[in-house]
Amino acid sequence: MDSYRVLVVDDDKEIRDAIEIYLKNEGITVVKAQDGIEAIEVLNEQDIHLIILDIMMPRQDGITTTFKIRESKNIPIIMLSAKSEDMDKVWGLQVGADDYVTKPFNPLELLARVKSQLRRYVTLGHYDGAQKLVNLNGLTLDQTAKEVAVHGEVVKLTPIEYKIVELLMLHAGRVFSISEIYERVWKEPGFNAENTVAVHIRKIREKIEIDPKNPRFLKVVWGIGYKMEK
């Protein structure tokens, strides 16, 4: 993984340095910033493949920073949060974070999540098969371009959001449980995945549905899971 560059953003120098040690051992180049403002400056100057972003920071917190990043970039973002910041984790996912790790974190768990997000991000746009278009009543999935469009208008999805839409559209009409969606998209066991998946579903609906509260495409099947309407 020596070609990857990860931006670590945390106001605690010890945490930044500790994460750097573990990532460097995997051949990953590490760039560090101590707050959200510095992080945005780095993103404007360097090619970054993934961001590890603390929620609570001076000057500009992780939530605000994620929101600003998502205005123009789909780089995977893994949030770091203290156990007392559960609501902040939800807000982080809502504004576009892809995953989160709770402090104090297990370095091996963080490393596994970094590798998973990097694999997913770097392989987006490298579809090896023939061009495949799926159209469901105006909602179009282009697997070659890795894009989703609503009535011809491309919507900006994060890598995780795209993977969820792709999974559901390729199996339109089939109901997927929350744990199954999590396992297929995140490639991890789907224990306690309900909140994470629900937040991403909500964000997807806001982007693809005219009326997110009365969705036309992405339907919930109460007590079972979600499906994409045929």
pTM over 0.85: no
d(Cα 181, Cα 52) in Å, to the nearest integer?
23
Range 124-129 contact pairs with CB under 8 angstroms and sequence separation of 24 or more:
124/159, 124/162
d(Cα 107, Cα 131) in Å, to the nearest integer?
39
The pLDDT of residue 128: 38
Q: Which positions of the chain have pLDDT values less than 70? A: 1-3, 83-86, 88-89, 122-132
What is the residue-averaged pLDDT of the chain?
Answer: 86
Architecture of domain 133-228: Orthogonal Bundle (1.10)
Which fold would CATH assign to domain 5-123? Rossmann fold (3.40.50)
Same fold, 5-123 and 133-228: no
Domain ranges, ordered by start, for the chain: 5-123, 133-228
